Amino acid sequence: MTENSSASGSTGLPASIEAAWGLRDRPAKGPKPGLTLDRIVAAAVEVAATEGLSAVSMGRVAKELGASTMSLYRYVSAKEELYVLMQEAAMGDPEPLPALTEGAGWREAVRQWAWAQRRMFQRNLWQLRIPIAGPPASPRSIAWWEQGLQALEGSGLDEGDKISVILLVSGFVRNEALLMSDLAAAVEAKGVSDVEVMAQWERTVQRLVDPVRHPALCRLLTTEVLSEPDAPDHEFLFGLERVLDGVEALIDKGAPS
């Protein structure tokens, strides 16, 4: 999540975190009737959803609301603070994990947690563009981490290793969602199907690779692997299970730090 490093008010917390936790006094009456923090955040989210995160600015959001740019600063101190509040709105509360109540074990619980994160990102892909500047500190980001740690209860891992697993799994989910989003955007821009994009790439590479310099890639191109359609979500399934295999191996070895 992004972070505004300047402390604000008497709490000594960054302004963005004060805003996310509702610790800052807001003006009882704004310069424009009906202007509220919730409306500002909702308008910013709408701009990001339709035009991308790069289109979000205090001036653009003010225009969306029919307000002056300066009036927004009575509610939000900077664009970085707005990003945090937008991310809070987009994340939503963590989905319930059936594995936590069914006693299904840590692996199934973490698997469900990872899938829930992926669905959360896919609903609002623009939030993947928000720079990460530190550990989670806003209410919903902490709630997601709390749920991830609960999923690892009974794993036998110590607290430090649990945090490392949470970072590993959430990093994998985030990277996969971002990669798939970028690939989908590239396919859409070309105006052809993803199958044709892959076919075009394969034809191009076949003309360029040298069996001496690229023997492994040449062997790959002699197979039909690249032209075979993958099952839905194949890469995510494959990657997540390999990550969980690694965690399981760590646990089986006694989880040395």
Question: Domain holding 146: CATH number?
Answer: 1.10.357.10
Mean pLDDT in the chain?
88
User: Residue 5 and residue 132: Cα distance in Å, rounded?
Assistant: 13
Q: Tell me: pLDDT of 157 over 90.
A: yes
Output the six-digit token pair for 103. 């006693």
Q: Which of 72, 91, 110 is the last residue of a domain?
A: 91
Looking at per-residue confidence, does 59 or 13 come out higher?
59
Q: What does the pLDDT read at residue 31? A: 52
In this structure, are 63 and 147 located in the same domain? Answer: no
What is the predicted pLDDT for the residue at 231?
72
User: Which of 91, 106, 133 is at the close of a domain?
Assistant: 91
Give the amino acid at 62: A
pLDDT above 60: residue 186: yes
Supply the pLDDT for residue 28.
57
Amino acid letter, 167: L
What local confidence, expressed as pLDDT, does residue 6 receive? Answer: 47
Residue 65 backbone zone (phi > 0: left; psi -120 to 50: alpha; other: beta): alpha
Provide the pLDDT for residue 25: 67
Nearest in space to 165 (alpha carbons), one of 98, 251, 39, 74: 251
What mean pLDDT do residues 243-253 have?
A: 95
Residue 5 domain flag: no
Residue 199: pLDDT band with limits 50, 70, 90: confident
Is residue 179 in some structural domain? yes
Specify the number of domains making up the chain: 2
Q: Are residues 135 and 206 in the same domain?
A: yes
- Cβ neighbours, 10 Å, residue 91: 22
% pLDDT > 70, the chain:
91
Q: Please identify, among 91, 112, 132, the residue that sits at the C-terminal boundary of a domain.
A: 91
Q: Tokens at residue 246, please? A: 């690694």
Regarding whether 110 and 70 lie in a shared domain, the answer is: no
Q: How confident is the model at residue 224 (pLDDT cuts 50, 70, 90)?
A: confident
pLDDT digits 0-9 by tens, 207-221: 999 999 999 999 988
Reported as a single tens digit per residue, the pLDDT across 35-46 is 899 999 999 999
Return the SS3 of 27: coil
Mark whether 110 and 202 lie in a shared domain. Answer: yes
In this prediction, residues 160-189 reach a mean pLDDT of 91
Domain of residue 52: give its range. Answer: 15-91
Residue-level pLDDT at 135:
85
**The pLDDT value given to residue 160:** 95
Give the CATH number, domain containing residue 77: 1.10.10.60
Q: Do 84 and 152 belong to one domain?
A: no
Residues 128 and 220 in one domain: yes
Residue 133 pLDDT:
75
Of 18-32, 126-140, 236-250, give the lowest mean pLDDT range: 18-32
Query: 14 pairs with which residues across the strands?
Result: 7
Work out the pLDDT band at 9, boundaries 50, 70, 90: low
- Is the pLDDT assigned to residue 29 strictly greater than 60? no
Would you tell me how many other CB atoms lie within 10 Å of the CB of residue 255? 17
pLDDT the model gives residue 8:
52
**The pLDDT of residue 227:** 74
Whether residue 9 is contained in a domain is answered as no
Beta bridge partners of 7: 14
Both 144 and 193 in a single domain? yes
